[in-house]
Structure 1
Amino acid sequence: MELDEKETLEETVFTNSFIHEGIDYSAYSLLQLAGMAESEITGHSAVELQDAMRLQLIVIKSQLSSYADNNMEKLSGLLNNLYHVQKFSGDWKAFFKVKNALLSSVLSRRKGVPISLGILLIESLKETGFNANGICFPSGFIVKVDLHGEAIYIDPFNGEIVDLLQLELKVRGQLGNHARLTPDMLQADSSETIIKRYVNVLKAAYIQAESIELALLCSDILLRLDPEDAFEVRDRGFLFQQLECYQLACNDFTYFIEQCPEDPIVNLLKRQIKQMGDELTAQVIH
Structure 2
Amino acid sequence: MRASGRALRQRLAAMAGSGDAAGLAEAALLLACLERGDDPAPGLAVLQPLTRGLAAGTGLDAPARAGLLVEHLFVGHGFHGGGDEDEPDLAWLLEHRRGGPEALGILWLEAARGAGWSAEALAFPAHFLVRLTDDSGGRAIIDPSGGGRVLEPPDLRTLMKLRTGLAAEMTPDLFRPLSDRQILLRLQNEAKLRHLRRGDVSAALAAVEAALLFAPDQDLLWREAGLMHMRLDHLAAAVAALEQFIARTGSGPARLRTQQLVQEIRARMG
TM range (shorter): 0.7 to 0.9
AA in 1 matched with 2:93: V
Query: 100, 106, 116: which is aligned to 2:93?
Result: 106
Report whether the alignment pairs 1:196 with 2:181. Answer: no
Number of the residue aligned with 1:75: 66
Task: Name which of 206, 209, 212 aligns with 1:220.
Answer: 209
Distance 1:127 1:114, change over 3 A: same
Q: 5+ residue gaps in structure 1? A: 1-13, 282-286
Q: Which residue of 2 aligns with 1:19?
A: 12
Partner of 1:45: 39
**Structure 1 residue 145: Cα displacement:** 0.3
2:122 and 2:130 in contact (8 A); partners too: yes
Q: Give the AA of the match of 2:82.
A: G
Match of 2:3 in 1: none
Are the structure 2 counterparts of residues 18 and 211 from structure 1 closer, same or farther at C-alpha, using a change threshold of 3 Å?
farther
Give the counterpart letter for 1:237 in structure 2: G
Partner of 1:32: 26
Shift of 1:17: 2.2
**Contact (CA 8 Å) 1:18, 1:40: kept in 2 or not?**
no
Shift in Å at residue 168 of structure 1? 2.7
Q: Summarize deviations over 1:209-257 as a string: whole Å, max 9, x none.
A: 5554443333223334443534322321232134321343355567768
Report the AA paired with residue 191 of structure 1. D
- Secondary structure, aligned partner of 2:44: helix
187, 198, 201: which is aligned to 2:176?
187
The answer for the alignment partner of 2:82 in structure 1 is 90
Q: Identical aligned pairs, as a percentage?
A: 20
**Deviation of the 1:262 alpha carbon:** 5.4
CA contact (8 A) 1:70 1:130 kept: no
- Give the distance between the partners of 1:278 and 1:24, measured in 2 at CA: 40
On the 8 A contact 1:17/1:40 being kept in 2, the answer is no
Q: TM-score, normalised by structure 1?
A: 0.72
**Aligned mate of 2:220, from 214, 217, 231:** 231
Q: Distance in 1 between matches of 2:245 and 2:165?
A: 29
Q: Give matches, 1:264-283, under 5 Å.
A: 280=269
Deviation of 1:31 (Å)? 0.8
Partner of 2:235: 246
Where 1:132 maps in the other structure, the secondary structure is strand
- Paired residues in the alignment total 256
Larger Rg: 1
Q: Deviations over 1:112-138 (max 9, x none)?
A: 222111001111122334221112321
Decide whether the 8 Å contact of 2:51 with 2:112 is kept in 1. Answer: no
- Rounded to whole Å, the distance in 1 between the matches of 2:216 and 2:17 is 14
Q: Secondary structure at the match of 1:19?
A: helix
Find the aligned partners of 2:10 and 2:203 in 1 and give their Cα distance: 15
Distance 1:65 1:174 in 2: 36
Give the root-mean-square deviation of aligned CA atoms: 3.5
* Distance (whole Å) between structure 2 residues aligned to residue 125 and residue 68 of structure 1: 11
Normalised to the residue count of structure 2, the TM-score between the two structures is 0.76
- One-letter code of the match for 2:42? E
Residue identity matched to 1:111? R
Give the letter aligned to residue 140 of structure 2: I
1:137 partner SS: coil
Question: CA separation in 1, counterparts of 2:18 and 2:128?
Answer: 23
